[in-house]
Amino acid sequence: MARTLTLIEAVNEALLQEMERDERVFLLGEDIGGSGGVFKATAGLLDKFGQDRVLDTPLAEGAIIAVAIGSSLVGWRPVAEIQFADFITPAMDQIIQQASKLRYRSAGGFSCHLTIRVCCGGGGGSGLYHSQENAMWFAHEPGLKVVMPSTAYDAKGLLLSAIRDPDPVIFFEHKRLYRTAKGEVPEGDYTVPIGPAAVRREGRDLTILTYGSLTQPSIDAAGQLAQKGVEAEVVEIRTLAPIDKETILNSVRKTSKVLIVHEDKRTMGFGAELAAIVSEEAFEDLDGPIVRVTGPDVPAIPFAPPLDKAWNVDTGAIVATAEKLAAY
């Protein structure tokens, strides 16, 4: 039976059910216990499972991930929380040099059974140290799987898949979606596989490739474009690594035009890799330039509300760019 949940409620339910199912699963992170986390993603879990399985840690991201890696090597299934993506840099050595390379350096003798939940994303005037969407840092690194759901259904199903995956998974949760993304979520156990993209809207005139917080604005833009006679297909790349090339290329070969939409910075962002894939493997199918709508190349998201709004990609920008591409 399904009920309507927000994305953060779906995350909480996934953690609860997996901790009930597998006693090896435990949580660690800053303020995740008594307060239930900054956004209440872990609310109620300390009362149910106790301090041995819901660990409040010091403000030390490197230590959080180091402890999680070590515990995974002796059979535990840690789920570590990084409070904001901006705070993940102290743990880069542990994630990039240790977790991602453990299976490779041991010739398959060891795996790093680790899930890292990361709150990310701009909007809401959170300023420069609480707003980065830096998933590309990790999608670039072989040995890591990187996912970012945009719906409550996918949030639960992908998180359950991540926790059960034998390799390290970085699970990005966009804070703007925590309570705005709502949908039907089954009560029971189910998984959404890591890897496949999702075609959110069928179309024939152009393909919009997107992910995360800009999935719904892209769908909304496609609806507006349809009223103007342009049928856009929206492909959500729920898994940034590994990339589902098949779904992407099938859509591009059908529509012959590609618009890439993402929140992260433009230069060397995830869209650049998508553009490379399309140009290398579907160049002869294209009937126009590969176009991007992205965040700007600025050091960080401004705090001032007008600048914060100007920084963020909106539906209007997607529609305007898509119209130009469709008319090419």
Alpha-carbon distance 277 to 271, whole Å? 10
List C-alpha distances in Å: 228 to 220, 222, 328.
Answer: 13, 10, 15
Nearest Cα neighbor of 79 from 171, 154, 153, 156 is 171
List C-alpha distances in Å: 259 to 1, 141, 163, 202, 265.
Answer: 37, 25, 33, 15, 16
Structure tokens at 150: 């945009």
List C-alpha distances in Å: 119 to 36, 234, 286, 311.
Answer: 14, 24, 36, 19
108 Rama sector, left if φ>0, alpha if ψ -120 to 50, beta otherwise? left
Give the active site residues: 130
> Do the beta carbons of residue 291 and residue 258 sit within 8 Å?
yes
